[in-house]
Amino acid sequence: MVLGLSHITLVVRNLDRMEEILSKLFGARKIYDSGDEIFSLSGERFFLVGAGVESIWIATMEGDPLPTQTHNHIAFRIADADYDDYVSRVGDLGLTCREGRSRVEGEGRSIYFYDDDNHLFELHTGALNDRLTRYAQTPTTV
Protein backbone atom coordinates (compact mmCIF):
# COMPACT_ATOMS: atom_id res chain seq x y z
CA MET A 1 0.00 0.00 0.00
CA VAL A 2 1.28 3.47 -0.92
CA LEU A 3 1.48 5.65 2.20
CA GLY A 4 1.97 8.97 0.46
CA LEU A 5 4.53 11.01 -1.42
CA SER A 6 8.11 10.33 -0.31
CA HIS A 7 10.04 13.01 -2.19
CA ILE A 8 10.54 14.85 -5.48
CA THR A 9 13.97 14.76 -7.15
CA LEU A 10 15.01 17.43 -9.64
CA VAL A 11 18.18 17.12 -11.71
CA VAL A 12 19.78 20.55 -12.10
CA ARG A 13 22.91 22.07 -13.61
CA ASN A 14 23.60 24.33 -10.65
CA LEU A 15 22.78 23.30 -7.08
CA ASP A 16 23.36 26.83 -5.78
CA ARG A 17 20.90 28.40 -8.24
CA MET A 18 18.23 25.83 -7.42
CA GLU A 19 18.79 26.41 -3.71
CA GLU A 20 18.22 30.13 -4.31
CA ILE A 21 14.96 29.41 -6.15
CA LEU A 22 13.68 26.93 -3.58
CA SER A 23 14.58 29.09 -0.57
CA LYS A 24 13.46 32.49 -1.90
CA LEU A 25 10.31 31.29 -3.63
CA PHE A 26 9.08 28.42 -1.46
CA GLY A 27 10.80 29.18 1.86
CA ALA A 28 12.59 25.82 1.57
CA ARG A 29 14.95 24.80 4.36
CA LYS A 30 18.13 22.97 3.35
CA ILE A 31 18.53 19.90 5.54
CA TYR A 32 21.38 18.11 3.74
CA ASP A 33 24.27 18.88 1.37
CA SER A 34 26.48 16.04 0.14
CA GLY A 35 29.41 18.41 -0.38
CA ASP A 36 32.29 16.42 -1.89
CA GLU A 37 30.72 13.08 -0.97
CA ILE A 38 28.78 11.09 -3.58
CA PHE A 39 26.26 8.68 -2.11
CA SER A 40 23.92 8.59 -5.09
CA LEU A 41 24.54 9.50 -8.75
CA SER A 42 26.04 12.96 -8.16
CA GLY A 43 26.23 15.82 -5.70
CA GLU A 44 22.89 16.42 -4.03
CA ARG A 45 21.01 18.59 -1.57
CA PHE A 46 17.78 17.94 0.33
CA PHE A 47 15.19 20.56 1.25
CA LEU A 48 11.92 20.68 3.14
CA VAL A 49 9.09 22.88 1.84
CA GLY A 50 6.09 23.54 4.07
CA ALA A 51 5.61 22.79 7.74
CA GLY A 52 5.11 19.80 9.99
CA VAL A 53 3.77 16.55 8.60
CA GLU A 54 2.74 18.44 5.45
CA SER A 55 6.40 19.18 4.58
CA ILE A 56 7.55 18.07 1.15
CA TRP A 57 11.04 16.63 0.73
CA ILE A 58 12.71 17.94 -2.43
CA ALA A 59 16.02 16.46 -3.50
CA THR A 60 18.22 18.21 -6.04
CA MET A 61 21.00 16.42 -7.89
CA GLU A 62 23.66 17.78 -10.24
CA GLY A 63 23.24 16.73 -13.85
CA ASP A 64 22.10 17.67 -17.32
CA PRO A 65 18.91 19.74 -17.61
CA LEU A 66 15.76 18.58 -19.33
CA PRO A 67 16.17 19.09 -23.10
CA THR A 68 12.78 20.77 -23.62
CA GLN A 69 9.98 22.48 -21.77
CA THR A 70 6.72 20.53 -21.37
CA HIS A 71 3.54 20.86 -19.33
CA ASN A 72 4.63 18.11 -16.90
CA HIS A 73 4.81 20.02 -13.66
CA ILE A 74 4.81 20.15 -9.89
CA ALA A 75 2.08 22.28 -8.31
CA PHE A 76 2.28 23.88 -4.89
CA ARG A 77 -0.80 25.27 -3.19
CA ILE A 78 -0.76 28.91 -2.08
CA ALA A 79 -3.35 31.19 -0.50
CA ASP A 80 -5.22 33.40 -2.94
CA ALA A 81 -4.23 36.42 -0.83
CA ASP A 82 -0.55 35.62 -1.54
CA TYR A 83 -0.97 35.36 -5.34
CA ASP A 84 0.48 38.81 -6.22
CA ASP A 85 3.38 38.34 -3.81
CA TYR A 86 4.34 35.09 -5.57
CA VAL A 87 4.08 36.73 -9.00
CA SER A 88 6.62 39.29 -7.72
CA ARG A 89 8.91 36.60 -6.28
CA VAL A 90 8.95 34.69 -9.57
CA GLY A 91 9.81 37.91 -11.42
CA ASP A 92 12.49 38.89 -8.91
CA LEU A 93 14.24 35.55 -9.53
CA GLY A 94 14.19 36.16 -13.30
CA LEU A 95 12.24 32.96 -13.97
CA THR A 96 10.35 32.40 -17.21
CA CYS A 97 6.59 32.57 -16.70
CA ARG A 98 4.31 30.55 -18.93
CA GLU A 99 0.82 31.70 -19.74
CA GLY A 100 -1.71 29.67 -17.80
CA ARG A 101 -4.41 27.59 -19.38
CA SER A 102 -7.98 28.83 -19.69
CA ARG A 103 -9.89 28.37 -16.46
CA VAL A 104 -13.48 28.33 -15.36
CA GLU A 105 -14.56 30.47 -12.41
CA GLY A 106 -14.10 28.69 -9.10
CA GLU A 107 -11.15 26.40 -9.77
CA GLY A 108 -8.46 28.74 -8.48
CA ARG A 109 -5.70 30.82 -10.06
CA SER A 110 -2.28 29.61 -11.16
CA ILE A 111 1.18 30.96 -11.81
CA TYR A 112 3.25 28.71 -14.10
CA PHE A 113 7.00 29.20 -14.40
CA TYR A 114 10.10 27.34 -15.56
CA ASP A 115 13.35 27.08 -13.63
CA ASP A 116 16.73 27.24 -15.38
CA ASP A 117 16.59 23.49 -16.15
CA ASN A 118 13.17 23.40 -17.89
CA HIS A 119 11.22 22.12 -14.86
CA LEU A 120 7.72 23.59 -14.83
CA PHE A 121 6.23 24.64 -11.50
CA GLU A 122 2.75 25.83 -10.71
CA LEU A 123 1.60 27.91 -7.75
CA HIS A 124 -2.12 27.24 -7.43
CA THR A 125 -4.72 28.86 -5.18
CA GLY A 126 -7.26 26.05 -5.35
CA ALA A 127 -7.57 22.52 -4.02
CA LEU A 128 -8.80 19.25 -5.51
CA ASN A 129 -12.17 19.52 -3.77
CA ASP A 130 -12.66 23.06 -5.17
CA ARG A 131 -12.05 21.83 -8.68
CA LEU A 132 -14.26 18.75 -8.37
CA THR A 133 -17.07 20.86 -6.91
CA ARG A 134 -16.77 23.35 -9.78
CA TYR A 135 -16.63 20.64 -12.45
CA ALA A 136 -19.76 19.00 -11.00
CA GLN A 137 -21.74 22.19 -11.64
CA THR A 138 -23.42 23.01 -14.94
CA PRO A 139 -20.79 22.57 -17.67
CA THR A 140 -19.24 25.76 -19.03
CA THR A 141 -17.30 25.94 -22.28
CA VAL A 142 -13.83 27.39 -21.82
123 HSE (CA, 13 A, CB side): 21
20 in active site: no
Exactly one of 19, 20, 44, 54 is catalytic; name it.
44
With 0-12 / 13-18 / 19 or more C-beta atoms within 10 angstroms meaning exposed / middle / buried, residue 25 is buried
Q: Half-sphere exposure (CA, 13 Å, Cβ side) for 5?
A: 12
Residues annotated as catalytic are: 44
